[in-house]
Each structure stands twice: as C-alpha cells, then as structure tokens.
Amino acid sequence: MDIILVSNRWAKTRSIKLGGSQIVLAMFLIVSLMIAAVIVSQYALARLAPAGMSEQLRVLLGGMPLMKKALVEDRASLDTLAMKLGEMQVRMQRIDALGGRLVKLTGMKPSEFQFDQQPAQGGPLVAPGNLSALSLASQLDLLTQSVDDRADKLMALETLLMQNQLSRGLLPSTMPIVDGWYTSNFGWRVDPFSGKRAMHEGVDFMSPPGTAIHASAGGVVVYSDTHPEYGNMVEVDHGNDIVTRYAHASRLLVKVGQVVRRGDKIAEVGSTGRSTGNHLHFEVRYKGMAQNPERFLQNAAG
C-alpha cells in the first residue's frame, strides 16, 4: 500500500509504502484506541456526571455492578428455598404414611383422618401483606423443625401402639375350642373321682374327640408330653410370666421350642389322664399361680 503525503512546506510530494504486517498493526492500534475511548467515556459518564447527564442516568450506570450482585444473591436465595421446599415435601409424605399406619393401629375410620388431603380452610382476606425472602426462609425453618418434632412424636406413639398390640396378641384372649361349651368352671367344686371338695384350676370344654385345640395366644411351646394327671398336655409360654395349659388331649401336634401363633392348631380333644370323658381342660397361670381363664377369654360361651 502506498500513502502519498502532500504539504505546502515541501517542494514535492512524498510517498510511504506499507507492507501487510504494518497494515494489520495499524488497524490493531486503531481498534485499541477506540475501545479505550469507549471505556474512558463510560467511566466519565458514571463517575464524573457532566452537567448534560441526568441524575437518574448517572445512578443507573453507577449501580449496574450492585444490581448484578443483587440478582445473583436473589437467585441463590430462591435455590435455597426450593431445596428446603423439596425437603418439606419429602417429610410430609413420610408423615402421611405414618399417619395412615397409626389410623390402622388404633382402629379408627380412615375417612376421619385423611392424611393425603389438604385440610379445608377459608375466611375473609384481612390486611394482606407480602413476605420477604428472608422472612419466608425463617418461617420455613421453623416449620421444618415443627414437622420433625411431630414426626418423632408420632413415631414414638406408633412404637407404643405396636407394643400394646403385640402385648394383646400374647394374652390368652381367644377360645381354644371353636365349638364347645363349659362343663366345669374355675373354682371350688366336688371332685368327680374322690367326691370331696377340691379346687378346679381351669375350665373344661366338652367337645367330641378329635376336635381341634387352638392356641389361645401366640407364644413358645414349653411342654408337650404325657402327664400323670393331665394326660397328653401342651403348655405355651406367652411371656410376661403367663402360661396356658391344654390337657387331656388325644393327640399332640407341637413340639417343645416351637413358636405358635394365636389360633394355631396344637392338639386334638381326647380323654387322657385323670378324665371322665372327652373334653379340654384349659388353664391360665401367672407366675405359676392359676388364674380364672374367663378373665382373659373373649366371647366365652357359658
């Protein structure tokens, strides 16, 4: 590229030759000068506030970095609130499931306590106001703590209810004979063999031979053998020092150490040992002492 210079001071024109690299360097310098001019002008507009610039424009240009920082902080706050909201939703799902289990344990009607539905609310709108992000985060923290506290208490209640239900399941409260009736109650009576007054430590159920004898409650078999007076007998330990005894059976169906559940068939009615006919002699003992089985049995037939 040739550049021709013309001046009144020179008698003749002069020319300058520029190569490719020199042209690129010249363009780079020009662009750099333009960028520097823009930066200087923006700084002057923002900081020096010439007389021709409005106050609003100066404040806007000067506050751009602060606005950007505030936007970043607001975004971080929203992300934090969204995470806490997600955690709350998970906790509420757990509480709903726990509430459903408690309803079943207590025997209440599920329609009375619908944990998976929002409670009904209403009322007039009085003095509405807006919540700030900071206030909302603070209330969300308090609500999270309250939900965790309620969940812990409900879990403790569930444990107590399960223990109570388990304890009831280990009490001899169901009839050992499905079809049978009392022939001799608990207490003093005339002994059928000696004719003398004697204590009868259980209740007798008259039933045909071979009738199924069921465990009155869950427990562990601690005796299953022939006894000189009780004949073929089964004893089941239910824990808490409670033992049930099933005597005079024709056949034993369980072994010592076997775990039985309420209602399991453990023997069959017979007339073995000190017996005058086919029947079941049923006893309940607490700490080795005979108790009236009628205190434990439900739906007892008279």
Based on the fold, state whether residues 18 and 104 are members of the same structural domain: no
Q: Rg (Cα) of the chain, in Å, rounded?
A: 47
Nearest to 280 by CA among 292, 289, 291, 267: 267
| pLDDT tens digits along 190-228 | 888 888 899 999 999 999 999 999 999 999 999 999 999
Cβ partners under 8 Å of residue 281, min gap 6: 202, 203, 204, 230, 245, 246, 247, 248, 275
Based on the fold, state whether residues 12 and 52 are members of the same structural domain: yes
**Does position 59 have pLDDT exceeding 60, yes or no?**
no
**Which pLDDT band holds residue 302 (cuts at 50, 70, 90)?**
very low
Most confident of 29-43, 181-195, 196-210: 196-210
Instruction: Give the lowest-confidence range in 1-15, 171-185, 196-210.
Output: 1-15
Based on the fold, state whether residues 155 and 205 are members of the same structural domain: no
Instruction: Give the pLDDT of residue 145.
Output: 76
Let me know if residue 219 belongs to a domain. yes
| Domain ranges, residue 109 | 76-114+134-169
Based on the fold, state whether residues 12 and 86 are members of the same structural domain: no
Task: Compute the distance between CA of residue 1 and CA of residue 5 in angstroms, rounded to an integer.
Answer: 13
The beta-strand segments (E) located in the chain are: 2-5, 14-17, 181-184, 187-190, 197-200, 203-206, 212-214, 219-227, 231-237, 242-252, 259-260, 265-269, 279-286, 289-291
Based on the fold, state whether residues 50 and 81 are members of the same structural domain: no
User: If you average pLDDT over every residue of the chain, what do you get?
Assistant: 76
Whole-structure pTM value? 0.51
Let me know if residue 26 belongs to a domain. yes
Let me know if residue 67 belongs to a domain. no
Give me the CATH number covering residue 185.
Answer: 2.70.70.10
- Residue 278 tokens, joined: 């086919």
Based on the fold, state whether residues 146 and 223 are members of the same structural domain: no
Nearest to 233 by CA among 216, 219, 218, 253: 253
Based on the fold, state whether residues 194 and 272 are members of the same structural domain: yes
Based on the fold, state whether residues 92 and 186 are members of the same structural domain: no
**Which pLDDT band holds residue 299 (cuts at 50, 70, 90)?**
very low
Residues 236-252, mean pLDDT to the nearest whole number: 94
What's the number of domains the chain is made of? 3
| pLDDT tens digits along 107-162 | 666 665 555 566 666 667 665 656 566 676 777 777 777 777 777 767 766 666 66
Let me know if residue 28 belongs to a domain. yes
Based on the fold, state whether residues 158 and 190 are members of the same structural domain: no
Instruction: Give the pLDDT of residue 255.
Output: 96
Neighbours of 197 (CB within 10 A): 9
Phi/psi of residue 67, nearest 5 degrees: -65, -40
Based on the fold, state whether residues 14 and 45 are members of the same structural domain: yes
Based on the fold, state whether residues 212 and 138 are members of the same structural domain: no
**Does position 246 have pLDDT exceeding 90, yes or no?**
yes
Task: Compute the distance between CA of residue 45 and CA of residue 58 in angstroms, rounded to an integer.
Answer: 7
Question: How much of the chain exceeds pLDDT 90, in percent?
Answer: 30
Let me know if residue 150 belongs to a domain. yes
